[in-house]
Chain A
Amino acid sequence: MLIVQQVSQYANTKPILQEVSFSAAPGRLTILLGANGAGKSTLLRLLAGESSTQKGDIRLDGKPIADYTPHQLALRRAMLTQHFTVSLPFTCEEIVTMGRYPHFGQQPTQADKAVINDCMEEMDVAGFKDRIYHTLSGGEQQRVQLARVLAQLHGQPQKGSRLLLLDEPTSGMDVFHQQLCLKKAKEKARAGAIVIAILHDLNLAAQFGDQLLLLHKGRLTAQGSPKNLLQPNRIRETYGIDVEIVYHTAYDFPIIVTRPPFYSPDTKTDVYATDNNFSERTMDKHTSGKPPQTDTGRSS
């Protein structure tokens, strides 16, 4: 069980998180939602025990997260961050092997090698084994990192719960791999881990989340099941967009349809499409701001 109580965090005097309290239970996939700069990543880093909280308390299985040694935490908590900068030319297999580092001494055992193989298969990156990591595309890199994180958390800890933290795990992935990624997260949860993921796609959150947390300007403004939490007015407050919530008879989860800003629901038409001179007009707009010589002068 992960219990967060009254956590506040400041950058200088500017509040990043204010009095955040919630709990996350094993077996459930918790999804953290919120606009850019709402404090989601900061909260996730605090949960990972990277730095200690300035105010408030975070406990994993009753013990403050700061009281675990880095190695103790590494055996039961894995975190996938955004923005990877792998500065030396490692192969993908070497990167995934690093996920098992907390579990073995100098060289991986046969069991570790099997885990590494399985996790690469699971994330559909087994074919990249000997490829140099930074020659992969963004989405492929993300899958390799996810395989590393899964490898780290593979197997049961001797006691206590496992904690999997994912900061925008689906970023850069195609639709198929987004689904695969969240399926794995859900499976990890069902296998008894506490899983907390930051997502920006409300529909993925609705489909996969057991519990949603909504963070707005550093405050936890709502928490609950997708059905309860995903309300048009809340989404407007948090993200500043208009949405329709619809249900399909085949599914139990809400489907969020965003309303494009240039779209009029009354006439069901694109407001720009009614303008016959659309392309001409935008072209005028495009060139009118520039001095005319720049278009011809450079190329010759």
Chain B
Amino acid sequence: MSTNKPARILLLILLPLTALLASGIGAMTISPAQTVAILLGKAGIHLPVNYTEGMANVLWQIRLPRVILAILVGAGLAVSGAAFQGLYRNPMADPALTGVSGGASLFAVLVILSIAGWPGISHHAMLQNYLISIATFIGAGLTTLVVLRLARTGGRTPVATLLLAGLAVNALCNACTGLMTYTATNEQLRSIVFWMLGSLGAASWSVLAVVTPLVLIPVLLLPTLGKSLNVYSLGESEAHYLGVNVARLKIQLLLLSALAVGACVAVTVIIGFVGLIVPHLLRSTNGTDHRRLLIDSALLGAIILTLSDVISRTIIAPAELPIGIITAILGTPLFIGLLLKQKKQLSSLSF
């Protein structure tokens, strides 16, 4: 518990710095001082820093929503990754690996198909965003339930059955999604493709209005389950002996993680590795205690995704590299490094 403070403080300092830096980088460079001046200018405080009207518009309309979206999605994916690992009692669980994002995508496509014919809804962007978010939430929740049920043997969730069940459910969901795109009309197909190309570039204040509450609720509530999650990792019976209402805990974890993953998938489809690598990184440096792991994961996830987004939109500018490629390129070596370092420790864990 003594290592708690420094890591948290470091993350709390790094996050605004990253956000400030990320807001300034792009086709039009805005210095951190100018960013601060523009933001304070909005609030009526004028600093003696020169900036153009164009800078203010780019920052306010494009950069800022995008940076905030990156922070939210990064925090949501990382905190739900940590929660999933607690729920499955397995450090290898991840929304992408356990079929959850596949299920969320399937439900999103289902909704897009059914609303494509209704001009009243399909032209109302915010309503559409809400509907897709609800669908991905339900999809994420249902697949978690199914995979958890399939993978469980004798009260445990071994990594082998978990991965196999996740693989199977993911394959089925992808097949159904494929089948639906195949039978879709041209107009429906256009909507689906548009959604599937979704990235942080879709960020706008109206998208943020939908995503912010859906991500903030789990990010704020999941850490309150930290103590119960610690005990839960000893086993369901042990959690009960220590006073945890296990059935209620599982439902809370399931709903909150599905909400976060659902909201993230609804906007950006799926960005892999964040949910797996961020908690892993923190656990290996800062311990497993979920009371700090969940909050720290949200902070580090936000930082990493914001940085990845900067790379994705600058590395081949003016074009944009899908952010999933960046997180995979950054995440895989890191993950393999951790794996090599901890191979012995991991193999002695009882899966």
Chain A residues proximal to chain B, CB less than 8 Å = 45, 48, 50, 70-75, 77-79, 81, 84-91, 94-95, 98-99, 101-102, 106-107, 132, 134-135, 152
Chain A CB within 8 A of B32 CB:
no
**Contact B241–A48 (Cβ < 8 Å):** yes
Chain A CB within 8 A of B90 CB:
yes
Chain A CB within 8 A of B156 CB:
yes
Kindly state the separation between the CA atoms of A81 and B239 in the bound complex, as whole angstroms: 12
Chain A CB within 8 A of B283 CB:
yes
**Contact A94–B240 (Cβ < 8 Å):** no
**Contact A152–B240 (Cβ < 8 Å):** no
Segment 91-114 of B: residues with Cβ below 8 Å from A = 91
* Complex interface: chain B residues within 8 A of A95 (CB): 234
* Complex interface: chain B residues within 8 A of A86 (CB): 233-234, 350
With contact pairs A101-B231, A132-B345 given, residues A81 and B237 touching in the complex (Cβ less than 8 Å): yes
Chain A CB within 8 A of B216 CB:
no
* Complex interface: chain A residues within 8 A of B85 (CB): 88
Chain B residues proximal to chain A, CB less than 8 Å = 1, 85-86, 89-91, 156, 227, 230-231, 233-235, 237-238, 240-245, 283, 287-289, 291, 345, 348-351
Kindly state the separation between the CA atoms of A101 and B156 in the bound complex, as whole angstroms: 23
* Complex interface: chain A residues within 8 A of B351 (CB): 87
* Complex interface: chain A residues within 8 A of B91 (CB): 87-89
Instruction: List 9 A-B residue pairs with CB atoms under 8 Å apart, sorted by A's residue number.
Output: A72-B243, A77-B241, A81-B237, A88-B283, A88-B349, A89-B283, A101-B243, A106-B291, A107-B1
- Among A72, A91, A98, which residue has its beta carbon within 8 angstroms of that of B287? A91
Question: When A and B form their complex, which 3 residue pairs have the shortest distance between CB atoms, in order from nearest?
Answer: A74-B243, A71-B243, A102-B243
**Contact B234–A89 (Cβ < 8 Å):** no
**Contact B242–A84 (Cβ < 8 Å):** no
* Complex interface: chain B residues within 8 A of A134 (CB): 345, 348-350
- Among B1, B234, B345, which residue has its beta carbon within 8 angstroms of that of A84? B234
* Complex interface: chain B residues within 8 A of A88 (CB): 85-86, 89, 91, 233, 283, 288, 349
Nearest-neighbor residue (CB-CB) of B230 within chain A: A98
Kindly state the separation between the CA atoms of A258 and B132 in the bound complex, as whole angstroms: 71
Nearest-neighbor residue (CB-CB) of B245 within chain A: A70
Kindly state the separation between the CA atoms of A90 and B244 in the bound complex, as whole angstroms: 19
**Contact B233–A87 (Cβ < 8 Å):** yes
**Contact B237–A74 (Cβ < 8 Å):** no
* Complex interface: chain A residues within 8 A of B86 (CB): 88
Kindly state the separation between the CA atoms of A81 and B236 in the bound complex, as whole angstroms: 12
Known A81-B237, A89-B349; 16 more pairs at CB < 8 Å = A48-B241, A70-B243, A70-B245, A74-B242, A79-B241, A81-B238, A84-B234, A87-B90, A87-B91, A88-B89, A88-B349, A94-B230, A98-B242, A102-B242, A102-B243, A134-B349
Kindly state the separation between the CA atoms of A45 and B351 in the bound complex, as whole angstroms: 24
Q: How far is the CB of B230 from chain A (nearest CB, A)?
A: 6
Kindly state the separation between the CA atoms of A81 and B242 in the bound complex, as whole angstroms: 12
**Contact B245–A85 (Cβ < 8 Å):** no
With contact pairs A84-B235, A87-B90, A90-B288 given, residues A99 and B242 touching in the complex (Cβ less than 8 Å): yes
* Complex interface: chain B residues within 8 A of A79 (CB): 237, 241
With contact pairs A81-B237, A98-B230, A101-B242 given, residues A89 and B289 touching in the complex (Cβ less than 8 Å): no
* Complex interface: chain B residues within 8 A of A91 (CB): 287
**Contact B345–A89 (Cβ < 8 Å):** yes
Nearest-neighbor residue (CB-CB) of A108 within chain B: B1
* Complex interface: chain B residues within 8 A of A50 (CB): 237, 240-241
Q: How far is the CB of A97 from chain B (nearest CB, A)?
A: 8
Kindly state the separation between the CA atoms of A167 and B136 in the bound complex, as whole angstroms: 45
**Contact A106–B227 (Cβ < 8 Å):** yes
* Complex interface: chain B residues within 8 A of A106 (CB): 227, 291
Kindly state the separation between the CA atoms of A2 and B345 in the bound complex, as whole angstroms: 42
Kindly state the separation between the CA atoms of A89 and B85 in the bound complex, as whole angstroms: 12
Nearest-neighbor residue (CB-CB) of A71 within chain B: B243
**Contact A135–B242 (Cβ < 8 Å):** no
Kindly state the separation between the CA atoms of A191 and B78 in the bound complex, as whole angstroms: 47
Q: How far is the CB of B345 from chain A (nearest CB, A)?
A: 7
Kindly state the separation between the CA atoms of A75 and B244 in the bound complex, as whole angstroms: 11
**Contact B156–A85 (Cβ < 8 Å):** yes
Kindly state the separation between the CA atoms of A78 and B238 in the bound complex, as whole angstroms: 9
Kindly state the separation between the CA atoms of A221 and B255 in the bound complex, as whole angstroms: 48
* Complex interface: chain B residues within 8 A of A73 (CB): 241, 243
**Contact A98–B288 (Cβ < 8 Å):** no
* Complex interface: chain B residues within 8 A of A78 (CB): 241
Among A48, A74, A85, max chain B CB count under 10 A is at A85
Kindly state the separation between the CA atoms of A106 and B235 in the bound complex, as whole angstroms: 21
Kindly state the separation between the CA atoms of A253 and B248 in the bound complex, as whole angstroms: 48
**Contact A98–B156 (Cβ < 8 Å):** no
Nearest-neighbor residue (CB-CB) of B157 within chain A: A87
Q: How far is the CB of A213 from chain B (nearest CB, A)?
A: 21
Kindly state the separation between the CA atoms of A89 and B347 in the bound complex, as whole angstroms: 12
